[in-house]
A and B are shown apart, each in its own frame.
Chain A
Amino acid sequence: MVQPSFSHPRSDPSSSTSSSPTAALDAFLDNQHQSYFEELYKSEAVCLCVLRSLPPVPRHIILHHLWSHQPLRTTEVKSFLQLDIQTSIQDVDEIMRPALNRKILHPMMLKKNKMLWPSNDAFKKGLRNALTGLGTSNSFGVPFDRDDDAEIPSQEVLVAYGEEAFEGILKYMVSSGLGIGFSVARPQAEVLELLHISGLMIDPTDATGQNPNLNKMTITSKGFQFLLEDRQTQLWEVLMYYLTAKEANSERSAEVLSMFFSLGCMQLGQDYSASKSFPHALSALNDLAQYGFIYRPSPDSNQFFPTHLATALCSGDAAATKSQDADEKRFLILETNYKIYAYTSNELEIAILNLFVDIRIRYPNLVVGKLDRKNVKSAMEKGISANQIISYLSSHAHPQMYNSPPPLLHPTIVDQLHLWDRERNRLKMEDTVMLEFFSKELFEDTETESKANAALQLSVPNQKFLFIEPQTKAAITDFVKERQNQLRSGF
């Protein structure tokens, strides 16, 4: 029997693109118009963060060219990248695509096979100012003017506060889905509203989806998937839901987005003045406090402290967040006999594990469970895919797991998870058109014809049935009629 081969999720190109923590942000930015970027690039913090979010090659080409007075030429890019001078513009375009999408460069045709890319002046100025510190937009946050002896919370306190606030929301989501009773405080109404608008939670009793009862919402399959993402992806998704839901007015939306980036460039443990840093986005800043992005000593004070949730926002590859809670995040040991040992006492992590693991033993700092078909399949019923489970397991793998030779997760288990996933999808629905033939010649001719045009879905020679793609129906029937006439006239 031929074993089905499953590509490892990490080597799968499609999964690697979607696994970027800022995928939600990228999707949002890609759909924005030139004027939106002009507004954004007024802030130096945005320029810096956007630069860092580019892939290395365009990023270094931008930096290479930053201090030049001339527009960037394609010929320069080609020689810098050691490309043949005859390389077509489209290929070079493709390399610089991320920068073009972010409107950092404007394409301009010079003459045949040559192109100029003048830089976006706002971006160039912003980035130069970010590097030299000569900007005027206060985008890196105005420190709060406090007395020197005033007591400020330590970094640990801020981290604990942010963690508690955000995990509170996640816990609420999990508990609504599992019906296990942990005592969770219900998040505030605005948060619940956002969870509903974003589709992470719904009220099952509310058929229209118009006026949900915010107190009786349950988690959706999208919500389950959200739970399994890593922290930074979750944060950006929440922020993007917030931005699209609350800030339909595009002018303000740019200001709020640039505030997100500014928060990402701030320093943990430093206090900032809200009214001076973000004069136009104060209400949005207040909203962020509910998710634990910032800490305010008192609700109406002008002073605020960004928590680690905010300051880690822009650390492109989550390196910063990893170093902060690396120990807490890597707690899973998965054996080849499907047993899972989780060295954690975090209620949220245990609840998430409980989604697809049959938990057998609980000690104060250790949970032992087993991946089995029933639990994994019930998780898949909830909309969690095998790839998501696998990426969750590998991103939480205990340091000891790295000591065994790669791959990190044993192929047996990875394959088994994929097999369980496939079991659910044995039947695939497709629209089709069935043709029934009486003449064998006509059947065979039509079969070859539809095969040649990639229209054939299935042929059953015994009964002379053909199943073809619906959109090709007209063409195939024309062919059949024509052929029929030919065959008849031949007799």
Chain B
Amino acid sequence: MAPPPPAPDLSSYPKTTPPSVLLVIIDIHPLSWSLLASPPPLPSVPDQPAIDKAHASPMTLPDFVTILMVFLNAHLASRWGNEVVVYGASAGRAKLLYPPPSNAVAGPSKPRPNTYLPFQLLDSRIEQGLKEMAAEEQDRLANGDVNSLNQPPAMVSALTKALCFINRINPHTSASAALVDPTAAPDPSAPSSTGPDRPETRILVINATPGENVSTSSSSLDPSQTNGEVDGNVQKASGGQMRGGYVGLMNCVFAAQKAKVPIDVLSLPPPSIDASPPIFLQQAAHLTEGIYWQWNGRGGLLQYLHALYLPPPSLRHHPFAVPPQDAVGFRAVCFCHHKTLDVGFVCSVCLSIFCEPRPVCLMCKTRFPIKSIPTLKSLASYIEPIPVPDTVPPPPIPKNSKSQNNENNKKDRNKSVVNGNSGGGRGEPIEID
């Protein structure tokens, strides 16, 4: 007979949590939302009748914003001192939607008797901000700037702004900073004896744009290549642009990693629109210990938001379980053509990634012996791409059976990735997986 499990250690549960600041980046790219509003029919899942029963639900931006507002209200409700910051990322530009700049006119003059005033301010301001952004897009179109719509959403711009915001409210306090501003210093008299009273921050990225488009390039694309594509699925190389969004995104991710800011990612395009997940956002979530989850296109977003993304970082992992993360594609983008690579070549000086061996590094101008190039090419041809499951399997709905199986799966997959890496990484060509 198995011994009884140990009783949960109640005293290890935090008595209080520090106030939490949630920075939401919402992708409001018009093309992406038009796709989401009329999704293709979902394939049926005969082996999971519970999932199969739910119908595909089109999701329009107003519907989603309503859901998001309830979620943000719940975040504010869950603790005093919690704050919300919202950025909107549209085609090629990002903007702060909430809180309003301090010189802006105060919110509605009259509080509603059935709404908690902070909720009302938040909701009305977000609505107003979104309308302003939509009007700006309209203006851009009216001015004949059609190509701007083909730009991917400015995730990098929004992430950078969000990280700057975090740095402003939560500077890396040293002793000298504490002298200047005593309120920023850890406050032992505060009731939270478990942790310092500094607010904890996290970023929630709500991605609506399908595919790898999200991060290939934030700079303007060549019109000749993108003219025909209205479905927003721009995957081709954007010629000549050296600083793609990839580098910017990764820099943001590493900054967030260092500042211990988790980046949660909610990817809205269901698998029927978007067979390949936004791997760079997935990497962002993985590297910063955030939560990545892709919507399956079958409704229930309000519950998913509350269930997955509401607990603050101090409660995640312990005591709460986080949803298991599936295989993450660790592929990178080459600096020369902005192609997503399985096998790449790395400059040994500046660590830039290229899709083919080059005699001169494009970034740092280091010269490599020209003789080594054929050798590298021949070596690279031996390498077989490692079969990593690229798509994320839908999360199992029946919660009772979930935890054990998936964790095992996840472990196995991780192991295979690691093994593959150690086998393939020999000599100059480094495999980016």
A binds B: yes
B78–A131 CB distance below 8 A: no
A88–B191 CB distance below 8 A: no
Tell which of A57, A84, A319 touches B5, judged by Cβ atoms closer than 8 Å.
A84
Q: Is A213 an interface residue (CB 8 A)?
A: no
Chain B 372-404 residues near chain A, CB threshold 8 A: 399-400, 402-403
A402–B4 CB distance below 8 A: no
Known contacts A139-B114, A320-B80, A402-B178; A67/B302 CB under 8 A: yes
* Residues of B contacting A: mostly: loop
Tell which of B113, B120, B175, B315 touches A56, judged by Cβ atoms closer than 8 Å.
B315
Tell which of B8, B119, B302, B321 touches A91, judged by Cβ atoms closer than 8 Å.
B8
Task: Give the distance to chain B from A464, nearest Cβ to Cβ, in Å.
Answer: 46
Q: Which residues of B are found within 8 Å of A87, using beta-carbon distances?
A: 5, 7-8
B114–A317 CB distance below 8 A: no
Q: Is B111 an interface residue (CB 8 A)?
A: yes
What sequence of 0s and 1s flags, for each residue 33-67 of chain B, a beta carbon within 8 Å of any chain A beta carbon?
A: 00000000000000000000000000000000000
> Interface size bucket, B side?
35 or more
Q: Is A408 an interface residue (CB 8 A)?
A: yes
Task: Give the distance to chain B from A328, nearest Cβ to Cβ, in Å.
Answer: 14
Q: Is B415 an interface residue (CB 8 A)?
A: no
Q: Which residues of A are found within 8 Å of B5, using beta-carbon distances?
A: 83-84, 86-87
Q: Which residues of A are found within 8 Å of B187, using beta-carbon distances?
A: 402
Of A167-175, A195-203, A289-297, A392-400, the stretch lying at the interface with chain B is: A392-400
Q: Which residues of A are found within 8 Å of B77, using beta-carbon distances?
A: 48, 51-52, 63, 127, 130-131
Known contacts A16-B15, A83-B8, A318-B191; A133/B179 CB under 8 A: no
Q: Which residues of B are found within 8 Å of A135, using beta-carbon distances?
A: 114
Tell which of A59, A66, A81, A402 touches B306, judged by Cβ atoms closer than 8 Å.
A66
Known contacts A87-B5, A402-B187; A319/B19 CB under 8 A: yes
Task: Give the distance to chain A from B68, nearest Cβ to Cβ, in Å.
Answer: 12
Tell which of A19, A81, A137 touches B8, judged by Cβ atoms closer than 8 Å.
A81
- Give Cα A44–Cα B402 distance, bound, in whole angstroms: 35
B113–A395 CB distance below 8 A: no
B306–A67 CB distance below 8 A: yes
Q: Which residue of A lies closest to B322 (CB)?
A: A82
Q: Which residues of A are found within 8 Å of B302, using beta-carbon distances?
A: 67
Q: Which residues of B are found within 8 Å of A16, using beta-carbon distances?
A: 15, 193
Q: Is A79 an interface residue (CB 8 A)?
A: yes
- Give Cα A171–Cα B111 distance, bound, in whole angstroms: 36
Q: Is B320 an interface residue (CB 8 A)?
A: yes
Q: Is A10 an interface residue (CB 8 A)?
A: yes
Chain B 310-368 residues near chain A, CB threshold 8 A: 310-311, 315, 318-321
Chain B 122-177 residues near chain A, CB threshold 8 A: 123, 175
Q: Which residues of B are found within 8 Å of A137, using beta-carbon distances?
A: 114
Tell which of A59, A140, A323, A395 touches B116, judged by Cβ atoms closer than 8 Å.
A140
Known contacts A19-B191, A60-B311, A408-B189; A138/B13 CB under 8 A: no
Q: Is A463 an interface residue (CB 8 A)?
A: no
Q: Is A298 an interface residue (CB 8 A)?
A: no
Q: Which residue of B lies closest to A83 (CB)?
A: B8
Task: Give the distance to chain A from B298, nearest Cβ to Cβ, in Å.
Answer: 15
Q: Which residues of A are found within 8 Å of B259, using beta-carbon distances?
A: none
B114–A402 CB distance below 8 A: no
Tell which of B80, B120, B190, B307 touches A133, judged by Cβ atoms closer than 8 Å.
B120
What sequence of 0s and 1s flags, for each residue 133-170 of chain A, a beta carbon within 8 Å of any chain B beta carbon?
A: 11111111111000000000000000000000000000
B79–A10 CB distance below 8 A: no
Task: Give the distance to chain B from A148, nearest Cβ to Cβ, in Å.
Answer: 8
Known contacts A130-B116, A317-B191; A95/B13 CB under 8 A: yes
Q: Is A45 an interface residue (CB 8 A)?
A: yes
Task: Give the distance to chain A from B55, nearest Cβ to Cβ, in Å.
Answer: 17
Q: Which residues of B are found within 8 Å of A219, using beta-carbon distances?
A: none
Q: Is B17 an interface residue (CB 8 A)?
A: yes
Q: Is A211 an interface residue (CB 8 A)?
A: no
A56–B321 CB distance below 8 A: no
B74–A63 CB distance below 8 A: yes
Q: Is A267 an interface residue (CB 8 A)?
A: yes
Tell which of A267, A277, A317, A399 touches B16, judged by Cβ atoms closer than 8 Å.
A317
Task: Give the distance to chain A from B316, nearest Cβ to Cβ, in Å.
Answer: 10
Q: Is B240 an interface residue (CB 8 A)?
A: no
- Give Cα A56–Cα B195 distance, bound, in whole angstroms: 13
Chain A 1-48 residues near chain B, CB threshold 8 A: 10, 16, 19-21, 44-45, 48
Q: Which residues of A are found within 8 Å of B258, using beta-carbon distances?
A: none
A397–B189 CB distance below 8 A: yes
Chain B 294-313 residues near chain A, CB threshold 8 A: 302-303, 306-307, 310-311
Task: Give the distance to chain B from A295, nearest Cβ to Cβ, in Å.
Answer: 17
A403–B113 CB distance below 8 A: no
B400–A76 CB distance below 8 A: yes
- Give Cα A154–Cα B185 distance, bound, in whole angstroms: 31
Known: A133-B112, A400-B182. 12 other contacts (CB 8 A): A60-B315, A63-B78, A67-B303, A81-B319, A82-B319, A130-B119, A131-B73, A140-B115, A140-B116, A319-B197, A322-B190, A403-B179
Sampled A-B contacts (7; CB under 8 Å): A56-B16, A63-B77, A66-B306, A76-B400, A91-B8, A133-B114, A400-B182
- Residues on B facing A (Cβ under 8 Å): 2, 4-8, 10, 13-17, 19, 70, 73-74, 77-81, 110-117, 119-120, 123, 175, 178-179, 182-183, 185-193, 197, 302-303, 306-307, 310-311, 315, 318-321, 399-400, 402-403
Which 4 A-B residue pairings sit nearest by Cβ, starting from the closest? A399-B182, A84-B5, A133-B115, A138-B113
